[in-house]
Amino acid sequence: MVENNHYYQDYIDRLGEGTSPEPDVSEAEMFVFLALTIQMGHGVRDNLTDYWSTLDQVYTPFYGIMNRNRYLHILRYLHFTDNRNEPDRTDENFDRL
């Protein structure tokens, strides 16, 4: 969650457009994001956005706990490492994990 926010803020800074239009991802939002992602494996749809469809044939109220655009924002900037403190990749002891 912290690295997601750093990664997104770095992206906004590179654009040079000022302040971020999206709020930081909270811990609660990250848990909801993970729950939705796990649930998606139980009812497979053709497109990712179909999980938020309001059509009677495919509507599932569970996905309404998070806005579709917010989910896609978190997914787009999902990040686990600190890019500001990258290890030396030329080091013989470098391990990607």
> How many domains does one find in the chain?
1
The residue range of the domain holding 22 is 2-83
Q: What is the rounded distance in angstroms from the CA atom of residue 22 to the CA atom of residue 34? A: 19
Domain assignment present for residue 51? The answer is yes
Phi, psi of 70 (to 5 degrees): -70, -40
Domain assignment present for residue 77? The answer is yes
Tens digit of each residue's pLDDT (9 = 90 or more) over 21-36: 888 999 999 999 999 9
**pTM of the predicted protein model:** 0.80
Asked if 3 contacts 79 with a C-beta cutoff of 8 angstroms, the reply is yes
Domain assignment present for residue 74? The answer is yes
- The residue with greater pLDDT, 84 or 66, is 66
Domain assignment present for residue 88? The answer is no
Which amino acid would we find at residue 61?
Answer: P
Q: What's the Cα-to-Cα distance from 38 to each of 41, 44, 60, 74, 95, rounded to whole Å?
A: 6, 11, 15, 15, 29
